[in-house]
Amino acid sequence: MAGFLFDNIVFGPVYSRRLGVSLGINLLPNNSKYCNFNCIYCECGWTEIKKGEKIILPNREELTTRLTNKLKNLKGTVNEPDTITFAGNGEPTIHPDFAGIIDDTIAIRDKYVPKAQISVLSNASMLHKPKVVKALKKIELNIQKLDSGIENTFNLINQTAKGLSFEKIVNGLLAFEGKLIIQTLFLRGEYNGHFIDNTTPEEIDAWLQLVKKINPEYVMIYPIDRGTPAKNLQKIPENQLNEIAAQVEKAGIKTKVYY
């Protein structure tokens, strides 16, 4: 499968445009993508789970050991993390022990690097699970994706697994009552016979109306930054992203463009 994959449970730290010195945690397989979305821009490539394929996820005990050892080594160095970030090869909240892993991570963070924040980069697909929501409310940076305010465009960009409707995703975001961060990737291009552009006035108006209802702590706006599995996608110019950000700010919601 084409794409960039993380081959360790704990990886980095790396410098992130959004999160500073970020130590990554991958709760998914280290040799393939495991996700309930199949986003046309995903840096990890296409979601290609074969029927009957056995998916092996890292266990809670192994992660605890690796994270503890890593933070012991990084504590007090120039690479001590600003953020411990759950990202990796797919959707982190899919892991069946996600809630417990968050509790473990908070305890380890508090012991070794208490100034570090914990972030989760999520596609908002598991917000119907109370344990996942409860865990996300415990961390500092609950970052949830929303790439369009129009159902058809959302489906074309994110290509969700069966049973994950646009309405279900939106209801999960609204239920946080503003205690979250929205991240949106803007793009345009052709895929599978459709021209997709989530930067048109109609798209921005629908997205902005939804963002205002969600009322997040702030909004992260960014363009394509790496290779994409769909080949005919274009990176949106920075000045256009700044114009979108200005509309969000005008609505009274903090926002930042990461270009």
Rounded to whole angstroms, how far apart are CA atoms 164 and 93?
Answer: 14
- Show the domain range for 78: 10-257
Q: Residue 216: is its pLDDT beyond 60?
A: yes
Name residue 152's amino acid.
Answer: N
Residue 102: per-residue pLDDT: 98
117 in a structural domain: yes
In this prediction the pTM is 0.94
Rounded to whole angstroms, how far apart are CA atoms 39 and 125?
Answer: 13
3 in a structural domain: no
171 in a structural domain: yes
Query: Virtual CA dihedral for 125, 173, 144, 224, nearest 10 degrees?
Result: 90
4 in a structural domain: no
Number of domains in the chain: 1
- Where on the phi/psi map is residue 97: left (φ > 0), alpha (ψ -120 to 50), or beta? alpha
> Contact at 8 Å (CB) between 99 and 135?
yes
52 in a structural domain: yes
Q: How confident is the model at residue 55 (pLDDT cuts 50, 70, 90)?
A: confident
Q: Average pLDDT in the 40-46 region?
A: 93
77 in a structural domain: yes
Look at 6-10, 81-85, 180-184, 247-251 and tell me which has the smallest mean pLDDT.
6-10
Q: What is the pLDDT of residues 83-123, one digit of tens each?
A: 999 998 999 999 999 999 999 999 999 999 999 999 999 99
2 in a structural domain: no
Residue 1: per-residue pLDDT: 41
Look at 28-37, 72-81, 90-99, 157-166 and tell me which has the smallest mean pLDDT.
28-37
Q: How confident is the model at residue 54 (pLDDT cuts 50, 70, 90)?
A: confident
105 in a structural domain: yes
Please name the residues in contact with 9: beta carbons below 8 A apart, sequence gap of 6 or more: 25, 26, 27, 30, 58, 62, 63, 66
CATH number for the domain that contains residue 81: 3.20.20.70
pLDDT higher at 54 or 205: 205
Rounded to whole angstroms, how far apart are CA atoms 147 and 62?
Answer: 34
